[in-house]
Chain A
Amino acid sequence: MSDIILRTKNLGKHYKNRWAAQEINLEVHRGDVFGFLGPNGAGKSTTIRMILSLITPTTGTVELFGHDLFKKREAALQNVGGIVEKPDFYLYLSAYRNMQIAGSLTLGKTPDDKKINETLGIVGLAERSMDKVKTFSHGMKQRLGIAQALLCDPQLIMLDEPTNGLDPQGMKEVRELITRLTTERGITVFLSSHLLNEVEQVATRMAIINKGKMIVQGKVEDLLKANANKILFNVEPVKRSMAVLKKIKTVSEIIQTDEGIVAKIDGKEIPSVVNELVKAKCRVFSVQPKHSLEEYFLSVTDER
């Protein structure tokens, strides 16, 4: 079987007068935590809905584990679990019953008690398994959603904004859970999010989508390298500092931002550059490397 377990080719969805997603070509490798990034309304959920067969695409194909989703739907989805946007449940039933229903749809028979309790244990809900879901907090529902996605031992789980609406502690727990799933269980995770920090912390590969179109795809470290050697100077006065930096040959791509001055400099040149600034009577408050995903994301989506 190919190392690529999810592949979309030219995937697109057209509504009356607009493309919600267009020419989406994704490749998710086995073992990836694949970050699918984009601002709100970029087309992330539409893409995930097409991959999970909730929406019929206008163009393109989806291949899961080598099976064409639209020709062999059952085989394609057999090893896939997922949450699309917020997880919703039969609120009038217990967590346990909801798990039974979800499991029976995948397995064709009701999953056994041991498996359900074990999966609820992974997300810390074993003790609340008999409580009706309507009594659960948002965070608990989110964890129950992940438990449902995990129930039938999927090889790929698709999580659409899994930390939406969670408090910082809940977000941290979900991130840790995602990391554990990949390291301990070898599950491939497709993580859609608009939270750059979240993706930066857990993803190994990523794609960025904006205004319905995919902009870039690749290994997170490779993509960030392209943005390496950017340094943020917090200096005063800004005008004089800009003038000084522009005179230094080893400094390029100098821009003024709300945070300070960002310039491209080789790391080993930083002391001499700071020295030049000090000599010119500029006050240097801080010097920080700027190679975060946020910078990269903003640079490719023109969201500055």
Chain B
Amino acid sequence: MLNLIYWELFKTYAKWRTYIGFIAVGILIPVIMWIMWVEGGKFIQHQLRSLQSEFLITGNLFNGWVIAQLIMNGLWVHVPALITLVAGDQLSGEATSGTFRLTLIRPVSRTRILNAKYIATLIYTASIVISIAALSIGLGMWIFGTGDLIAFDKDGITILPESDLYIRFLFAYALAIWSMFVVASLAFFISSFVENAIGPIITTMTVIVIFLIISNLPVESVEGIKPWLFTTHMNVWQQAFRDPYDWERIRTSVLALGANSLFFWAITLFIFRRKDILS
């Protein structure tokens, strides 16, 4: 199995399209950093305007941690698109190029081939998120230095001491990877029954956008279905910056996201094992 995974990873990382995501991250994050640098602390000043009248705030509040967290907030709309570029091509790409005729006549089960591809897809997904983490924290700290984190959310502002931040960011990125696995699994699933990569990319993004809209609709009639949509749980990484942690919310979301990934993998396997290779 390890050999199969190795070659799936080899194929994935030998393709030009795999690097589009990394290039996009490599351009986008420095651009955001540059804008932040030019704008200075205006954003933080704006956010803290009401607090400054009542509290004495000292130290470097416009630091690398703050920037990294802002980037996390900003990029989650785009990261799924980067993930689907590769995940949506994993099965459909082989169907298009005809290479299933090469691989599926070998004495190895379709289940093992599919699992190797799925694991390679998840590893790519994790590597995209890790590249975002490394670049935004590394570059952020280098340019803006370190300090405590002011975490903004809809309930207010939480100031987290710098000593906690390594573990909190690690936790946040782990949750982010977990939530992106659902996106990858969905694109992987869609790629199992089409023969070009464009379909899975467009369909996955359409599903995500529709689900996101429903998840954020302040309408009572859709409240019942919100917990069942994976997009409702995709921002679980924000819980890493809550003090104290809301473990109940984290557990629910982690389980919901895991169940969604498992579901998409299971139906992909069901389809793939029965698929007639006609191309």
Residues of A within 8 A of B (CB): 49, 52-56, 73-78, 80, 82, 84-93, 97, 100-102, 104-106, 108-110, 148
Contacts and interface: CB of A to CB of B under 8 A. Distances in A.
Contacts of B102: 87-89, 102, 148
Contacts of B7: 100-101, 104, 110
A90 B277 contact: no
22 contacts: A49-B276, A49-B277, A73-B109, A80-B107, A84-B101, A87-B101, A88-B97, A88-B98, A88-B99, A89-B99, A93-B11, A97-B14, A101-B7, A102-B102, A102-B103, A102-B106, A104-B4, A104-B7, A105-B103, A105-B107, A110-B3, A148-B102
A53 B278 contact: no
B50 to A, nearest CB: 55
Nearest to A82: B105
B105 A77 contact: yes
A88 B195 CA distance: 15
Nearest to A72: B107
A87 B278 CA distance: 14
A109 B104 CA distance: 16
B3 A90 contact: no
Contacts of B262: none
Contacts of A78: 107
A86 B98 contact: yes
Give the 8 A-B residue pairs with the shortest CB-CB distance, closest first.
A88-B98, A105-B106, A77-B107, A54-B277, A52-B105, A74-B107, A84-B101, A55-B276
Contacts of A75: 107
Nearest to B93: A90
A54 B98 CA distance: 12
B22 interface: no
B152 interface: no
A53 B3 contact: no
Contacts of B103: 101-102, 105
Interface of B: 3-4, 7, 10-11, 14-16, 97-109, 113, 274, 276-278
Given A56-B276, A108-B3, A110-B3, A92 B108 contact: no
Contact of B100 (A54, A97, A106, A109): A54
A107 to B, nearest CB: 9
A204 B104 CA distance: 29
Given A92-B15, A104-B3, 17 more contacts: A49-B277, A53-B105, A54-B100, A56-B274, A74-B107, A74-B108, A74-B109, A78-B107, A89-B102, A92-B16, A97-B10, A102-B102, A102-B103, A104-B4, A104-B7, A105-B4, A148-B102
Contacts of B98: 85-86, 88
Contacts of A92: 14-16
Contacts of A101: 7, 10-11, 103
Nearest to B17: A92
Contacts of B104: 53-54
A106 B11 contact: no
Contacts of B16: 92
Contacts of B97: 88, 90-91
A89 B101 CA distance: 9
A86 B99 CA distance: 10
A104 B10 CA distance: 13
A55 B278 contact: yes
B11 to A, nearest CB: 6
B22 to A, nearest CB: 17
A125 to B, nearest CB: 16
A55 B273 CA distance: 10
Given A88-B97, A89-B102, A100-B7, A105 B108 contact: yes
Given A54-B100, A104-B3, A73 B107 contact: yes
B97 to A, nearest CB: 6
A89 B99 CA distance: 6
Contacts of A89: 99, 102
B276 A84 contact: no
Nearest to A81: B105
Contact of A106 (B106, B276, B278): B106
B105 A80 contact: yes
Contacts of B108: 74, 105-106, 108
Contacts of A76: 107
Contacts of B107: 73-78, 80, 105-106
Contacts of A49: 276-278
